Amino acid sequence: MNRMLLLALALAMISGVAGGAVAWAKAGDNGESPLADHIMSYVGGTFEIVLDSNPTTGYSWQAEYDAAYLELVDQTFQASSDLIGAGGTETFIFRPLQDGETETTMTYKRPWEQDALQTELYVVVVQTKVID
């Protein structure tokens, strides 16, 4: 009985992260547009991509991006509670390096598996900051 309950809870947590993952870009110190699929930023500023995650399942987000345009400054996980196995959010902070348009692909997968459970694509438009 306890095994069935644990299995049911584990499946509920996995499906909650996989099926209802929320992705958004969050304004950093440069006021870019916080849209989910298009991000506006400027050279020298920063922007964040924040995704629901649960690394206790073996899954984590992996970023693929053009290093000529973007630098990954930091990657963190913040649990939503103190409970063992709790999900939370994974945050990626990027710094644009040059003007132009590039793509960032985020894949939610286990490192030892080929196929991703989920993929998110972001178009990043980088412009020169205009000083008023």
How many residues can be counted in the chain? Answer: 132
Q: What is the pLDDT of residue 22?
A: 31
CATH class (in words) of the domain with range 2-127: mainly beta
Predicted pLDDT at 53: 95
What pLDDT, on the 0 to 100 scale, is given for residue 128?
74
pTM of the model: 0.70
Q: What is the pLDDT of residue 132?
A: 58
- Residue 127: its pLDDT value, please? 85
Q: What residue segments make up the domains of the chain, in order of their start?
A: 2-127
What's residue 130's pLDDT? Answer: 62
Query: If we measure between CA atoms, which residue out of 31, 58, 56, 52 comes closest to residue 42?
Result: 31
C-alpha pair distances (Å), 1 with each of 5, 11, 15, 58? 6, 15, 21, 25
pLDDT of residue 21: 28
Q: What is the pLDDT of residue 131?
A: 58
Q: What is the pLDDT of residue 27?
A: 37
Which parts of the chain register pLDDT below 70? 1-36, 130-132
